[in-house]
Chain A
Amino acid sequence: MICPNCGHSNIEGADTCEECQQSLVELSRPRAVTSVDRTLHREKLAALENSDPITVTPDATVGECLKLLVEKSIGVVLVVQGDQLVGIFSERDALMRLNVAANDLYDRPISEFMTPNPETLTVEAKLAYALHKMDLGGYRHIPTVDEEGHFQGIVSVRDVLRRITEDLVVTGNA
């Protein structure tokens, strides 16, 4: 890393310049190169949130949740107790956990089949974090919380994809 102040060549990742003690922290920050990069770094999750996520209480039945998913055309219901998020139940969970036994489990509480304590992000986090978590964990939805951990909303892969492609001005002739 070349010190912008005195031109001394420092080892990669140094915090301060060996020669003049100037801070080099700014040089190691990831920098935006394209408009998509800029969006990823600047846009907060709060900006693309679905304002009306569907929530249920932990004692709602499996049948109720399945019907909600279908009627509201959504991929996940959030299980909320008070203003605390306790779990998440997605259409994928329905297929993987209920499967052919769905009819027999119809009246059981959703708390037995939800994913407890799902990964969350704060509403202040940038888009890049959501993208990273979705890629790593294979999630399609990430619930958002405020600084105190109170449940706020949800970000879906579709929201993220839409926001990114807005920047890309996709020019395919499909």
Chain B
Amino acid sequence: MDIELNLTTETVEQTGLKDPLIVAPDVSIRDVFELLKTKKAGGLLVCEGDTLTGIFTERDALRLMAKQADLDRPISEVMTKSPATLAAGSSVAEAIKMMSGGGYRTLPIIDEAGKPLGVMSVKSLIHYIVQHFPQSVYNLSPKPIPAMEQREGA
């Protein structure tokens, strides 16, 4: 498998997108926190009807916790509005560029109408890369440094 070719020809959908968690803009921050915890998710999308209006991630949650913010305000006040998105059908290479360039860990994938189809995470990207180098990664010896510390019998 040639990863360079695959990166430019495979689409983001093929890396296995996660179904996005979606909430309405008027949901409270407290409910969002609890939802993220029960779903063990690192972020969610805020949608008005079918249209993506914002994103709320762990990082945003952290900022609120650090300044002891009031958790009963609606999520729309603290979400990141008009987040960076990728159009469906974009290549994996574009996703990597966007993630490492912008420092994003979660990219919503949207269709032409702006409806979110899924979320691409840095975790699924790492898994995708590992799968391209099974020889290198899955054949590792259990200890990073297998050599003996001292010569036998010396």
B68 touches A41 (CB 8 A): no
Interface size class of B (residues with CB under 8 A): 35 or more
**Which of A16-24, A29-37, A49-57, A78-86 lies at the interface with chain B?**
A29-37
Query: Given the complex, which residues of B lie within 8 Å of A119, measured CB to CB?
Result: none
A168 touches B126 (CB 8 A): no
What is the bound-complex CA distance between A134 and B140, given in angstroms? 14
Please encode chain A, from 55 to 83, with 1 for each CB lying within 8 Å of some chain B CB and 0 for all others.
Answer: 00000000100110110000000000000
Query: Given the complex, which residues of B lie within 8 Å of A122, measured CB to CB?
Result: 144-145
What is the bound-complex CA distance between A99 and B30, given in angstroms? 8
Chain A residue with Cβ nearest B132: A36
Query: Given the complex, which residues of A lie within 8 Å of B68, measured CB to CB?
Result: 63, 102-103, 106
Contact A34 to B3, CB < 8 A, known contacts A41-B136, A94-B61: yes
Tally of A interface residues using CB under 8 Å: 52
Please encode chain B, from 111 to 125, with 1 for each CB lying within 8 Å of some chain A CB and 0 for all others.
Answer: 000000000001101
Interface residues of A (CB under 8 A from B): 30-34, 36-37, 40-41, 63, 66-67, 69-70, 91-92, 94-96, 98-100, 102-103, 106, 121-122, 124-126, 128-129, 131-132, 134-135, 138, 140, 157-158, 160-162, 164-165, 168-174
